[in-house]
Structure 1
Amino acid sequence: LFLFLFAAFLIIIFLGIYVFLFNTVSTNLDIDEDFGQVNLKDVNALTFGRINQAFLDSADYIGFTVLFSLVLLMFLNAYFLRGEYPRLFIIIDIVLLVFAYILSVYISETYSLLINSTSLLSNIYVNIMPKSSAFILNLPMIIGIVGCVVMILSYSGMPRKKEEISFNG
């Protein structure tokens, strides 16, 4: 759960940095300058400009897909490790969930301060990546829900099938 918190925060921050860098490079390459027989603006529009536009159009989907896959992997991990831990560990998991919730509040507020610090960051994180930003801003609620579902899957009494026992060892 703690790894999920830090990974989610860092993935969205680095994705925003990549969006900013791609956009800056594309803007600087988009000047109307001739180098011999080649116009830099035309070449950029045909090559890097298309890549940049595709990246800007899909950056939010990339970020949201990565975050959703992290949640899905936590669910799968909890399902396949069910019954491995003694039921006494549920108390430790509840304490860890409370700490993760507190940490997620700090991460969400830090992200809010970061995106509201300048209009440049606000443009990148709010206008270009709105779904990913909403995910991080709602991180405390998501941590609570995901943590509870993971605990239910981990400590549920779902019996294993014969195929699972022979496959897992």
Structure 2
Amino acid sequence: MHEAIMKQSSWTWRWPALLLSVCVPLAAAAPITISNTEPLVFGKFAAGTGGSVLVGTTGARSATGGVVLLSSGSGAAARFNVSGDANLTYALTLPANGTASLSNGSGQSMSLSDFTSNPASAGLLGALGQQALSVGARLNVGAGQPSGSYSGSFIVYVDYN
């Protein structure tokens, strides 16, 4: 559309301002994923009068209260691989206290608490879009907790910042 205006017996053409918008498609970020590569292991222990077993992010374990760690069973931090777009940061969310537990299939259970991770609350994906993540936690052991094999699961959430 244009308009004509009479000016001193000559015609002058005025063109309205042209609004130009350029659309550049943005590449969507690759989905961020997390996969478990090693389980969290508390190792062998005797419950005694109760207490806890703590496994840190390095896999080192310690006991509190009347729990006695047995040398025949070592602990290990859970290991995960986080993958996504290179050089992007992400936030991670660990389980809240009391939301995860281990059970023996016979009605006996022990709660997990005090989850920790390395990196702590956020990470940075490397040049190849990956980062290793380790997670430790505290296993709360009741007095006279029945011996046996206990298992369970917990969820770690990751999301781009």
**TM-score w.r.t. length of structure 1:** 0.23
Greater fraction helix = 1
TM-score normalised to the size of structure 2? Answer: 0.24
> Which structure would you say has the larger RCO, counting Cα contacts within 8 Å and 6 or more residues apart?
1
Larger radius of gyration: 2
Considering fraction of residues, name the structure with more strand. Answer: 2
